[in-house]
Structure 1
Amino acid sequence: MMEKTHVTSKPQWLKVTYDQKKVDHMDDLLAGLKLNTVCAEANCPNLGECFGSGSAAFMILGPNCTRACRFCDVPHGHPAPVDLLEPARVAEATKRLGLSHVVVTSTDRDDLPDLGAGQFVATIKALRRLTPKTTIEVLTPDFQGRTDCIDAVLAAGPDVFNHNMETVRSITPHVRNRATYETSLAVLRYAKEHAPQNMYVKTGIMLGLGETDAEVYQLMDDLRAIDVDFLTIGQYVQPSPKHYQLREWVPMARYQTYYKEAVKRGFKFVASSPLVRSSYKAKEELEAVMGK
């Protein structure tokens, strides 16, 4: 384990302003439909902006995760049974909000026989029925590397298949529970090899965990070796004292350097900035690549 590092107070960019009335409206709508969002459950710093602009990343399969990753603020514990009506409610919320692009993620559900893949499939199908013009991005867990689960999600036809690497190889064992660098890389490799030509494969990482430039560049090379299309790079924000200790508020200049290096390596789209999260401005990202 790395030595503890003193980190200065939070930078100014973490103080984001937003329209509280719009956020309250979104909260009420989601509560009425009994839906969870990763925005709220993970205490995302972009919650105000995304809720205020009428977008959200839906988190299916309940708020409790079966894993306890040290960087993540999503609650962990014994999850509830799968809610078979949840996919229809996600589609209804998407319709009411008028979303042209929707992100669907989930908690890890290692307790389920299909690890939650079936709920992703059902949600994609519900969205296609009710909002056929909406583009769909899924942000999946690693499914323990099971290709049958990945196949099921790919066959449902999302526009973007996303699975996060989260961090570089050396730090992965310290911050991720059960997940490994190689398993996540294998998930992305399999998805890229078996996805139809018009489906994009995406991943994201956090900075400020103690990674070096060389390790970040090696991760980029590993991703490009398997032809991953999109890469998001953002700042880790330590949720509480019990979580993995923040090592650094990464300066903007380094985000810009990483952006340039990623573009040089051939990613179709790169987002690199402190407030970037895997699902942040996902609509704009897809539209940019599709030439809209």
Structure 2
Amino acid sequence: MPAETNALNSVSPRSASMVENLPDWLKRPIARASELSTVQQIIKQRQIHTICEEGRCPNRGECYAQKTATFLLMGPTCTRSCGFCQVDKGHAPMPLDPEEPQKIAESVSLLGLRYVVLTSVTRDDLPDQGASWFARTINQIHQRSPGAQVEVLTPDFWGGRDGGDPHDLQRDRIATVVNALPACYNHNIETVRQLQGPVRRGAKYERSLRVLQVVKTLNPLLPTKSGLMLGFGETEAEVLETLADLRAVNCDRLTIGQYMRPSLEHLPVQRYWTPAEFDRLGAVARTMGFTHVRSAPLVRSSYHAGEADEMLMTQS
């Protein structure tokens, strides 16, 4: 699973008939080729990946028009098999490209990005789950674009081939990323406790809460963030329980969006939540103490991610 990311999804060609059943508020105009070409050209020339493309995010046209993208580290193939995710899985991932961190830093510079989001597929096959790869890429970006801020959306860093206590290993891997000084640390819990099994195969609810808790233990001043998808059959009470659990580990920022089934091979949508319901959940989240909330059907983890830091800089 790609860092448990909810950077989902427009429907694939195999499920084109499902488009007709989407509520009006989930239909977006097709982006103009001119809005897509600059970013696509840069990433294709360097043979790097974005979750915008691999996850077929419905907002990629808007983001590309603004010359922004969320970079996908460590290849396009995930070692886990979540029931919601469009990203490639089911076979051995590619070897790491030793030049990838530099290529991403070059792309950030060429696009003139002030705020960068780095995510990754889950790489259970790597000794440190790719934590050092995140740190290396952050450092490369900081060296080439000193003014750019980098948000990370990481996997849970659980397991792997190392021996020792898995909790200690997880903490060490998180510390590797935190010590590289990201602007925000995001790890998505994705769905409510009761639905973790079918939705997030290989992940655990408490384990994800622990990621966010460990980040705050290592650096209390580093903003943390998490995201939820709705539409798997969760109740509003279960959603509110999840928000309370996130606040209990001092999670600062929150995204809530609608799950959109990427193909007939993925989990079906049980319910389309209305824009009014998303507005209500967002309002409740703010009263609970989340400092930055985006709650709307087409919201994804990285959508307008830099706005929270821009607001903080404006207020300071």
Smaller-chain TM-score bracket = over 0.9
Conserved in 2, the CA contact under 8 Å of 1:137 and 1:161?
yes
1:58 counterpart (71, 78, 82) = 71
Superposition deviation, residue 27 in structure 1 = 1.0
Q: Quote the residue 2:84 is aligned against.
A: 71
1:97 aligns with 2:79: no
Looking at structure 1, the residues matched to 82 and 97 of structure 2 have their Cα atoms a distance apart, in angstroms, of 24
Unaligned stretches of 5+ residues in structure 2:
1-17, 159-166
Q: Quote the residue 1:203 is aligned against.
A: 226
Conserved in 2, the CA contact under 8 Å of 1:7 and 1:248?
no
Unaligned stretches of 5+ residues in structure 1:
1-5
Amino acid at match of 1:39: C
Q: Quote the residue 1:166 is aligned against.
A: 190
1:44 counterpart (27, 51, 57) = 57
2:306 counterpart (279, 283, 287) = 283
Looking at structure 2, the residues matched to 151 and 206 of structure 1 have their Cα atoms a distance apart, in angstroms, of 27
TM-score normalised by structure 1 residue count: 0.95
1:129 aligns with 2:137: no
Conserved in 2, the CA contact under 8 Å of 1:7 and 1:247?
no
2:121 counterpart (89, 107, 126) = 107
Looking at structure 2, the residues matched to 15 and 23 of structure 1 have their Cα atoms a distance apart, in angstroms, of 18
2:32 counterpart (4, 16, 19) = 19
Looking at structure 2, the residues matched to 83 and 249 of structure 1 have their Cα atoms a distance apart, in angstroms, of 40
Conserved in 2, the CA contact under 8 Å of 1:256 and 1:273?
yes
Number of residues of Structure 1 aligned to a counterpart in Structure 2: 286
SS at match of 1:178: coil
Comparing 276-285 with 100-109, greater Cα deviation is found at 276-285
Alignment RMSD, CA only?
A: 1.5
User: Structure 1 residues 91 and 196, CA, compared in 2 at 3 Å: closer, same or farther?
Assistant: farther
SS at match of 2:194: coil
Conserved in 1, the CA contact under 8 Å of 2:38 and 2:67?
no
1:118 aligns with 2:132: yes
User: Structure 1 residues 251 and 8, CA, compared in 2 at 3 Å: closer, same or farther?
Assistant: farther
1:246 counterpart (265, 269, 274) = 269
Amino acid at match of 2:241: Q
Q: Which aligned runs of 4 or more in structure 1 are off by greater than 4 angstroms?
A: none
Alignment of 1:125-274 (within 5 A): 125-144=139-158, 146-197=170-221, 199-274=222-297
> In percent, how many aligned pairs have the same letter?
43
Looking at structure 2, the residues matched to 157 and 83 of structure 1 have their Cα atoms a distance apart, in angstroms, of 23
Amino acid at match of 1:12: D
Looking at structure 2, the residues matched to 9 and 50 of structure 1 have their Cα atoms a distance apart, in angstroms, of 25
Superposition deviation, residue 186 in structure 1 = 0.7
Looking at structure 1, the residues matched to 24 and 113 of structure 2 have their Cα atoms a distance apart, in angstroms, of 30
SS at match of 1:202: strand
Looking at structure 1, the residues matched to 84 and 25 of structure 2 have their Cα atoms a distance apart, in angstroms, of 20
Q: Quote the residue 1:3 is aligned against.
A: none
1:182-202 deviation per Cα after TM superposition (whole angstroms, max 9, x unaligned): 1101111111121252x2100
Superposition deviation, residue 231 in structure 1 = 0.5
Amino acid at match of 1:142: D
